[in-house]
Chains A and B, each alone.
Chain A
Amino acid sequence: AQSVTQLDSQVPVFEEAPVELRCNYSSSVSVYLFWYVQYPNQGLQLLLKYLSGSTLVKGINGFEAEFNKSQTSFHLRKPSVHISDTAEYFCAVSYGGATNKLIFGTGTLLAVQP
């Protein structure tokens, strides 16, 4: 079955430290990968996406992610986090096709501490 795994439910990190949020997906011939961020009591905002081309994808707010086909991973990174980055981060995969159904991971709470 198609699935997305975010192993870390919560990642505490100090301000200005680097962070990596992990995401793995079940293998398929072609995938589209997304990271969404959800700030408290708000909707989902697209951070970045991989559809094709360069495996290193840059997004908003200084985030980037690398698509690794052999490891079926799409980890999210930021070299220096801010308090304002505290939020829930969701990795999602679509296998394209007629429905473009998004399958979400269970989310990772990034908790940035001063």
Chain B
Amino acid sequence: DTAVSQTPKYLVTQMGNDKSIKCEQNLGHDTMYWYKQDSKKFLKIMFSYNNKELIINETVPNRFSPKSPDKAHLNLHINSLELGDSAVYFCASSSVGLAGGPRTDTQYFGPGTRLTVL
């Protein structure tokens, strides 16, 4: 069973379009994250949700909107795509135990979604 899965794996689209990336984890974790890896392979946190509540919101354009329907899913919607949005987007999960549950500081990553904006 895949622990953290993302769909789609590849996404090619035109500038100005709106697209979504989906992430699901079956590890029972309470916290999920989105990271962006740019063309120089630099990884940076974008967002994090704990039990469906936003707990990290880095300096990201408001064209990016995360949504967590439940603690096993975290989706990323991007409006009005720009050339600079081309990157690989990684989802990750861990347990920070904010709700009194167990804590593990290890984040487990999905396989990534390569977004190419033309």
Nearest-CB residue, chain B, relative to A102? B107
Tell me how far the C-beta of A11 lies from the nearest C-beta in chain B, rounded to whole angstroms. 15
A39-50 vs B, CB cutoff 8 Å, 1 = contact: the mask equals 000111110010
Nearest-CB residue, chain B, relative to A33? B105
Asked whether, in the complex, the Cβ of A99 is within 8 Å of the Cβ of B48, the reply is yes
User: Which residues of A sit under 8 angstroms from B105, Cβ to Cβ?
Assistant: 32, 49, 51, 94, 96, 100
Q: How many residues on B have C-beta within 8 angstroms of the other chain's C-beta atoms?
A: 26
A67 at the B interface (CB under 8 A): no
B66 at the A interface (CB under 8 A): no
B87 at the A interface (CB under 8 A): no
A87-109 vs B, CB cutoff 8 Å, 1 = contact: the mask equals 01010001010111111101100
A34 at the B interface (CB under 8 A): yes
B55 at the A interface (CB under 8 A): yes
Cα separation A96 to B50 with both chains bound (whole Å): 14
Stretch at the interface among B13-21, B69-77, B109-117: B109-117
A-B contact pairs, 7 of them (CB 8 A): A43-B90, A43-B110, A44-B109, A49-B105, A98-B50, A101-B48, A104-B42
Q: Which residues of A contact B (CB under 8 A)?
A: 32, 34, 36, 38, 42-46, 49, 51, 88, 90, 94, 96, 98-104, 106-107
